[in-house]
Structure 1
């Protein structure tokens, strides 16, 4: 077939599956027969194996290739590695991965990719978008995962090149349904072209929804686009069984103190602000979810929170609450293990990673009802512009084996989307932790959508070269707040390059987690000036497509937008210019 005739590329015949007793079996060892098929859509090769079939065919109308894995019986299969991988051994080749904001991996780049976030699961921050790409001197492909719910990818990287492979996981213990990857092979492929092919794909499938379209039902989006972000909290409490417990006492800031802080920011030069408020309820940040109410009594209770909200509204600022419907704490008044995620062996997973201590995961099938229960009460007391539902758009999808609320990963995705849709129905702008595109029809913004290097100490080795893959696809669909720390590199430059909105205050709840590595020493006046500069530029390109990203050299990058505005940053000199 034509896709095999790519010079300097190796097509590995390396597809295999893993049995539930961990045996690795190559496809070729189970081969029975193959035949050529011609249909009204195209032609290809249908191959029959012992427990499954494959169909690899070219679509006549588009020249796309579809690689289909078709289960016949669930004969003890745990995971399937298919299609065969491609490798370009040329030193100029590279792989493109939508890992967080985006990652380019040169063929000779030295890094261990055996331990990536969420084991490489699609629909998590390991892949904001379900596609992979490789290219060498323009010759390459983009592979779009059309069935991403129960799948992940692997990166096998050595001094010869990089092998990317899709891995298909069971759904509730069985393979169940057909898995499909669409490959587009082109002679002018690079990471920009790969992103634009995927942009065309999400427009065709209906996942693409611009900010202008979202604004029809959520008119305050245009207000949010004028805001710098203030992230701060009210109450911090750490349970003794939490990994973060070191004997610390509770810390409580009154609602009035936050009101005064926001007012002082305006006096110092901030214009419109969006307040993202952590720890606003009585249990404190990351505690007792989903039984989180009432508003923190010691901070002023419902009346204090209402006064804060009214003050923000009077200043034309926006207000949103941080909330959580996955972490399910044993300290919650109505906690019941029967409502938690149940694993295949009947056990209930638990850990004590966060401030609230011992917890399970709430089955997402119940999350929309808990959201409705809580916000029926919350909206009796305050008005909200935005709500942040933590982890939904960052962490992998869950599956639950409890027969009372059996749930596949795909169903988990729909339940999470239902939580966002509930907010939209109330005129509230929904956000979540990161910007996985399965939620692109509902989500308007997120906590961030960073490059991977921003989440670790700046002296740690980077996974590759950062490239703005997400924004090349979705800049005109999504509002991304960006960290603004000034360290060896000035992160403000990336906020400008990516056309995002800035954080002006970022009081994160945990140290050395999620990119929070302490103060960079800038004064609040400097932070306000820098945030205003980023906001001024954002107004010029806020509803525009990011057309192209260019790497000029190791330190200089450019982004061009659809209104012909181009911005250039220099990370060595920590400067920028609008070209």
Structure 2
């Protein structure tokens, strides 16, 4: 069965239920080994097991396509049923501004999976639409993955691809942006999840290739598939990953997600002061619960220590004397419970470190030095020993259980239902205001790194999509008070309300130095959002390894001057990874700071790989600034 519109020809094979798509001269077909399926805890059910399958062509006022219905699973009359709809939107696609390649975009193809009757199956996952046949062992056949800042996998890449972080879930560190794409000899497509909240990407690339398969999985929301799941594919010729990013940049502009730093600065003028800062990340109190997985039984003294606010004051003064002019202090563990303890009841300044007066003196010193000050805070982890802990307000799963673990320093915990987070933010920050703590920024941990939660408590039922909205409310409350918002990483959903982040690294940066890389790091996120959010970058210079300063320059980000991670050998905090004296670190940071001040508000127009293994790279910004880096030698040129 065929349907045609806007330069696209769809062909549905009614026997295999596979789809072929012709876009211009390029043919895209689903891989032979792909099986569209509904997955339960017990089995994988191919679509072909539905006994009553019907297909029909349809025409609407905006497009043409093929609708398929799936009824009578295993011949049962009253059984789980669903529909799929694949249609081409009849429209003229705009080519992305600034691409400079003169290519062509073809029609937008919509894939919709629609639940009709949800009786008889407890669905765990749906895999549809299918992955493309992508079997050529060539470096010119490339897969684009949004894990972390971005990853490019040539089909002949020698390292096997692992499962992306968070199982590839959209809107997490496993997929900052809800899309993926593939390019073969200049022809490509981008697959955008327009309903990303309960979905993600799966990936297969064996060592050396010769293929890479990538596709979409969908999960239930509160126990049911419940709503239509949608992907939008845009096909192009004469393109590379830059063009795919610019297609998506236009998409988020159309959707209203795209808000530039210049626009945000109207709301929060302090952004201008943050541009060009280096970052100092340090803490006050560490207190590891004996029940925590991080508790060190062999060296108990490591579990508890305090650095006074006065010591941090002295550091500020010393850095100023050493020539540091612009700095943002990110302070962990500033409250009585200690870092990652008793949230969300994290209220009183650490008495052992000097209490409220000591903290206020530190803030005043930071500001006298011309620096900026912000705190670490947390409104997802819900500690069982928090003063106001009540299981009634914890996330409840659909089976009635409350998820619990004891991973972090505070020990046993669950998760706070996101519906409650805005109330705690207001309560806690008003405490800070009452004690004269003048905040420039606030970091709300994990919001933009971890998945949104779902809660099945009928008193505050919440979908994953709604959870992101509650998190955004927390950011917006802070912005309304002139406080710059930050979180752990970056995520598509937060771009209207996030000013900066802890980092937005390439995925390899969070693994032990020397770990084999699963592709070439490319700045997909910054090709879309560079002028929307400020990103600090690690500046590690490990002997025998590439200098991370090169990536900070390529991405024109903010440099980390001092970075004392809360947990050793996690989240990119590896022991003795810098190997530099403070004077050298300050000097290196100044180079990155000067570039950041120049182009922080500029679009990243283009990124180029200048050799096959990606060790030589170049970025070009909208003001004409060009940054070229040899990651192997550490040499760079800015012009």
Q: Same fold (TM over 0.5)?
A: yes
- Name the structure 2 match of 1:535: 593
Quick check: 2:149–2:504 contact (8 Å CA) kept in 1? Answer: yes
Deviation at 1:8, TM superposition (A): 7.0
Deviation at 1:156, TM superposition (A): 2.2
Q: 2:558 aligns with which of 494, 498, 501?
A: 501
CA distance in 2, matches of 1:34, 1:531: 61
Quick check: 1:16–1:24 contact (8 Å CA) kept in 2? Answer: no
Deviation at 1:313, TM superposition (A): 1.6
Pairing 1:259-274 to 2, within 5 Å after superposition: 259-274=313-328
- Name the structure 1 match of 2:175: 127
Q: Which runs of 5+ in 1 are unaligned?
A: none
Q: 2:431 aligns with which of 367, 377, 383?
A: 377
Deviation at 1:65, TM superposition (A): 0.6
CA distance in 2, matches of 1:270, 1:85: 51
- Name the structure 2 match of 1:163: 213
Q: 2:386 aligns with which of 328, 332, 356?
A: 332
CA distance in 2, matches of 1:111, 1:453: 13
Quick check: 1:141–1:189 contact (8 Å CA) kept in 2? Answer: no
Pairing 1:382-421 to 2, within 5 Å after superposition: 382-421=437-476
- Name the structure 2 match of 1:83: 129
Deviation at 1:457, TM superposition (A): 1.2
Pairing 1:187–2:234 present: no
Deviation at 1:7, TM superposition (A): 5.0
Quick check: 1:558–1:567 contact (8 Å CA) kept in 2? Answer: yes
Quick check: 2:83–2:116 contact (8 Å CA) kept in 1? Answer: yes
Quick check: 1:434–1:449 contact (8 Å CA) kept in 2? Answer: yes
CA distance in 1, matches of 2:630, 2:53: 57
- Name the structure 2 match of 1:578: 638
Q: 1:18 aligns with which of 25, 30, 38?
A: 38
Deviation at 1:473, TM superposition (A): 0.3
Quick check: 2:627–2:637 contact (8 Å CA) kept in 1? Answer: yes
CA distance in 2, matches of 1:560, 1:98: 20
Q: 1:454 aligns with which of 486, 499, 509?
A: 509
Q: 2:547 aligns with which of 465, 487, 490?
A: 490
Deviation at 1:466, TM superposition (A): 0.2
CA distance in 2, matches of 1:482, 1:226: 12
CA distance in 2, matches of 1:518, 1:263: 26
TM-score (norm: length of structure 1) = 0.98
Deviation at 1:161, TM superposition (A): 1.0
- Name the structure 1 match of 2:569: 512
Structure 1 moving runs of 4+ over 6 Å: none
TM-score (norm: length of structure 2) = 0.89
Could you say what secondary structure the match of 1:298 adopts? Answer: helix
CA distance in 2, matches of 1:470, 1:96: 11
CA distance in 2, matches of 1:16, 1:288: 45
CA distance in 1, matches of 2:391, 2:467: 18
Judged with a 3 Å threshold, the aligned counterparts in structure 2 of structure 1 residues 250 and 542 are, in CA distance, closer, same or farther, namely: same
**Structure 1, 367-376 or 73-82: larger mean CA deviation:** 73-82
Quick check: 1:8–1:90 contact (8 Å CA) kept in 2? Answer: no
Judged with a 3 Å threshold, the aligned counterparts in structure 2 of structure 1 residues 576 and 323 are, in CA distance, closer, same or farther, namely: same
Could you say what secondary structure the match of 1:48 adopts? Answer: strand
CA distance in 2, matches of 1:104, 1:496: 19
Deviation at 1:302, TM superposition (A): 0.5
Pairing 1:60–2:60 present: no
CA distance in 2, matches of 1:371, 1:285: 17
RMSD: 1.4
Could you say what secondary structure the match of 1:161 adopts? Answer: coil
- Name the structure 2 match of 1:241: 291
**Structure 1, 76-85 or 267-276: larger mean CA deviation:** 76-85
Deviation at 1:114, TM superposition (A): 4.8
Quick check: 1:17–1:78 contact (8 Å CA) kept in 2? Answer: no
CA distance in 1, matches of 2:40, 2:444: 35
Quick check: 1:252–1:299 contact (8 Å CA) kept in 2? Answer: yes
Which string of whole-angstrom CA distances, capped at 9 and with x for unpartnered residues, describes residues 459-493 of structure 1? 11112110000000000011000000112111011
Deviation at 1:376, TM superposition (A): 1.4
